[in-house]
Structures are given as C-alpha cells and as structure tokens.
Structure 1
Amino acid sequence: MTQLQFRRNRRLRNSSTLRSMVRETHLRKEDFIYPLFVIEGENVKNEINSMPGIYQLSLDRLLEEIKEVHALGIPSVILFGIPAEKDAVGTGAYAAEGIVQQATRLIKEAYPDLVVIADTCLCEYTDHGHCGVVHGDKVLNDPSLDLLVKTAISQAEAGADIIAPSNMMDGFVIAIRQGLDAAGFEHIPIMSYAVKYASAYYGPFRDAADSAPQFGDRKTYQMDPANRMEALREAESDVVEGADFLIVKPALSYLDIMRDVKNNVLLPVVAYNVSGEYSMVKAAAQNGWINEKEIVLETLTSMKRAGADLIMTYHAKDAARWLEGN
C-alpha cells in the first residue's frame, strides 16, 4: 500500500475545528427571510394543517410573532395577505387599508430595523385565484400590469422596504420599476420572482394563503419544470428591466437552476424554500424518520452552496436557534 500514489484528502477532516476552518459554504441566520401569513379578523392564530408550526395571524397577534423573529436575529420577513373579501380584480391587494399594508405599518412602527418585504401579487385577493386579470379562461398580461403597479405603490406607501412581485407576467419588473419611480420610490428595491416554476411543491402554500386557482392552472404564466435555458431568459429580462434581487422558486429541486442563475447574473440570488419542501421535512420528522435539525441545516446549506445569497424559508426560526446552538 505504501507504494501507491494517491492524495490524502482526509487530512483536512481530522477534527471538527479543522473541518470548520476549511468549510467553503457558511449558513447564517442573517441569510434568512421568514414568510408570514396575515389574515383579517381578531385574535386569530390558525395553524396551517399542512404546515405544522406555521400560522395565519391577525394583526392583533402579529407582533407576538415579530417579536420572536426579531429576538432570534432574523433580519427580514415577507408578508402574504389573506383578505376577508375577494373580487375579480383583487382590490384588496392595492387598497390603502389592505391587510398587508396594515401589517407593514404595524411592523415598521414597532421594529423599524426589520426589513419588510411585500409579496406583490393578486392571487390571494382575486375570487378566481389567478395572478392577474381574467377574461373568460385567459389571464391577460398587460391589464394585469396596471393592477400590479398599483399594488406595489400602495405597499411602498405603507412602508415596505422591498417589493417582491411574484406574478410572472411579462414586463412586470419594468412596469413596477417605472411606477415606483414615478411615485417617488426610486429608493425601493425590487426582489423579483424571476424564475418561478409551475410546481407541485406549492400545495401547502395555497392552503395557507387561500390562493388556489378556481379554474385551470398557472402553466400559461409560470415556467415549465422541464426547462433550464428558459430560466436564464427570464432572469436576463428582469435584470435588464431593473430588478435588484432575483428569486428562484422552488429551491430544492432546482439547485441546478440556481447555480446557472448565479453564474450568469451579478445580482443577489434568493432561494425560496417553498411550502411543499417544508411540509415534507416536517411530516418525516414527526414520524421519526429523519433528524429534523440535521436535514434542515443540510438542505439550507445546499441552497447556499448552489449560489443563494439569501433564503426565504419557513424553517427560519428553528434554523436560527440551531445555528446559535439552542
């Protein structure tokens, strides 16, 4: 054996300290964005059946959650709204007293240093559940842009630090950028859902946000999971149109896409560790099939390794505790 010529790669794995010294990818609590579902009503804290540990929260219960998030050192939240009433054009999305607008003002008043991201879409607010204006069985692109611009401006006026449009209409970034600029919000960045696939992993989210489409599906505007080069075209479009961050959604089954995007753009890349990914881990952990802590931290690290600068994840609170050794 001594005459064989080979590399001794194990030399750098001899102790935990040595392994940490040469670790290439680092996961930090500062990387996390925590999604929150805000619902109209009073004294509401509804656990989502398909997402154990995640709740729909009314405004009077919201700051309980925000206090914990802030104490854990998680720097940012993204808000999804569940209105009491819906209509064909998603009026609640851009109403001055919409649920996300009210939640934003409440959070920024209590915790001004917490970065509030507003999800900018119509699907939670429309009675048909689609992300734009519907005519017959078609989702219309350009009329939808007008409503998305109104939504973004309303959210910025309420104090949102970042606008995150998730609708996948063509031209949504440039329309929102021009709208924000014209309204005096040149300083507000856009975190674009640039690469968003028509994925089966969104099922639990649709329970949480009450946003399932009432007819058809979203495959005419969200991307085909089989496509890779299309992701680069979408990302390039959003860069040219003025995006400041690019989201890849989902994350876990699209790590190759995340790496492609990271290799081809200079903007920060955000992984969305979506509801289905979360729920599968939770179900397996509750059945005792996996070590939840180890699986979650490994999964989130894989997203950083694939190129994510930030991670939207429902695991954020647990992961922050685990990273602190709690």
Structure 2
Amino acid sequence: MNPADLPDAVVRAVRCAVESGELGADVVVPERVVVERTRPGGVGDYATPVAFQIAKAAGRAPGEVAGVLARRLGGEPGIESVEVTGPGFVNFLLPPPSAPRIVSEVVGQGAARPTAAPALDLDIELRERVVRESVLRILRGQAGGDRQDGPGRFPVAPLAKRDGDVVRRYGLGAARWAMLCVPVRETPEFSERLLVQGEENEFFRVRYAHARSRALLRNAAGLGFGPEPGEVDAPALLRVLAEHRLVLEAAGHHRAPERLARYLVELADALLDFQYRVLPHGDEKPSAAHRARLALAEAAGAVLAGGLALLGIDAPEHL
C-alpha cells in the first residue's frame, strides 16, 4: 500500500464500522481524513487523528473509536501493523516501498502535470497572489485538472516593506521560493543566500537535484543504456518518493504550499545522496542494477519538476 492510499483506507474503515453498528448511526463518515508522517519519537510510519473527529458523534472516547478502526485496518492488505497510541491516534507501519511500483506510479500518474492557474486579481498583494496561485494549482492537480473554483480567501502575511522589489532583486523563481517556503501566515524572509549557487541555498539544491537527474539520463545514454524499473536498495529515497501524493493532498487541504516546498528539499537531498550510485564506475559495465537506479533517479526528477511547477518555478535541464 502506498502512503497516499491510507486516507481512503481509513474512510472505508469508518464507513464499515458505521454500517455494522460498531460506531453508531449518528456518525457521519468524513469525505477525507488527515494521515501524516509520525513525528520523531512516534510509533510506526504514519498516523491519523480521525478518532477525535468522530468520537463525539459516536458517543465514545477517542481511544475506543481508535481501537475499533485499528481492528478493521489491521486486516487491510499492504498494512504491516496498526497500533493505537496516546488518547486515540491510529498509527500505521507499512512494508518498505517497492521501487518498481513507485516508478510506475510516477510515470502512470504523471508527477509533472501541473495545470495552469487562471489569472487572479492583480490588485491583491504580490505574496497573496503567488500563494493563492500555487494553492489553486495544487488543488486542480488533485482534482484531475478540471477544478474551476478557487481556494477562497485565507490569511496570507504580506511582504515586509523593507524588502522592496524582491522580484527585481532576487529573480522571479527565487522570490517565489522565499514567499512559498514558509507558512502562509508568516512573513517571508529574503537574504543574499537566495542567490548562492551552493548547498546552503535550498532553492538551488532543489533545482540542482532536478538538473542532476537529467544529467544522469544523458550520461547513461552516452554509455548505451537507459532507465528500466527494478528493485533498488535505496530506502531513504524510496520512502520520500512514496509520500509525494500524500504531501500534495495535505498541501492543498491545509492551503499550505510550504509543505510541498519542504518535501521538495527532502526529496532533493535524498536524490543528491543517491546519485553517486546510478552510473557505472571505472571498468564497470552497465547492468540491470544500473538501469533500475537510473529509473528511480528519473522518477525523482519528474516529481521535483512537477512540484516546482506547482510552485510556479522552472526546473532547469542544466544548472
């Protein structure tokens, strides 16, 4: 099971528990539930607080509701174990993600298919316009590109007057990144670090990681081989890649493009650590392992390109 499949599994468990009478007829089955990575020190890989959401209608304590759901979810294929922690959190442990499945999902679902956001009111403050455009792109991507309504108005902290014309000073891409990488209610910060072509600049690292994925493909072609999905021992990169749909859903639901920006940094760092294993070294001949690693690097690059486009930022082939 992919982490992005967990919300649907939880909704099914609630529905079945209501229909069987375990939770009572007054419980309204939610259309969506929050499932997020467990925090440091937590149990399992992911957790949901859905029991708190429906406990009052069920007339039971959240811990009891969580227990009902945990028993049902424990039988779901692809979930290794389910445990209730604290006053009612349902925690999930998933098997290690499969590289061929991750690659096929990225290719099949089109990680880099952002939809164009319609023009918004030019009279609103620059940062609000940038944030709302990105949120709308994310929402339309979740809806398959046919969503016509906007994200509505929500509080967005404006730029500080002291920063002046940030687009002219830092360039459109870097200015967008700075505006989107912090929570929308916080005032973004700008510094000369945005212009640094080095690892201390997260904006550079994300775009550089995409460029590296493209360079790996070019170099592999020069050696006479291309990407071919297969098993890869890359747990860090696979774990991050497996979460990309879950992150997009959370970013849209919470109107929080900074969640996507943070995810892209994590993915970029995982890819940059992995890149040295992709191509043959010395007298090594290209093998099935190299082709599988290249396919994984290509998938990571596609997710980076798609995520940057959702933020309104280009993903260069060369950097």
TM-score by shorter chain over 0.5: no
TM-score category, normalised to shorter length:
under 0.3
User: Rg: which structure is higher?
Assistant: 2
Q: Specify which structure has the higher proportion of helix.
A: 2
